[in-house]
Amino acid sequence: MEIRNAVFSDWKALAEIERVCFPAEEAASGDSIRERLSCFPDHFWLLSDQGRIVSFVDGMVTEEKDLTDEMYERPAMHREEGSGAYL
């Protein structure tokens, strides 16, 4: 098994994991995954087994005190210099 950072081309595999693991109304869409990868690519960590992505975690850095739905909807709220991270 290997842990690595995501690259943009991983988005389809990540969207499929979201689709399988979450109810349709809660899973991040492919568009959302792509936007997150564009805004905070260094904050995606993937677990792969024999080259196949089997799991991932991602999270934004922010100065916000509380996690809000808006953070899921607006990945551009990521602030690399922020003091806290939400996974």
pLDDT in tens, 2-35: 999 999 999 999 999 999 999 999 898 999 999 9
In angstroms, the CA 60 to CA 79 distance is 8
- The DSSP symbol for 65 reads S
Place of tokens 């934004």: 60
Q: Is the pTM of this model over 0.75?
A: yes
In angstroms, the CA 60 to CA 72 distance is 9
Token reading at 73 = 């909807």
Residues 56/7, Cβ–Cβ less than 8 Å: no
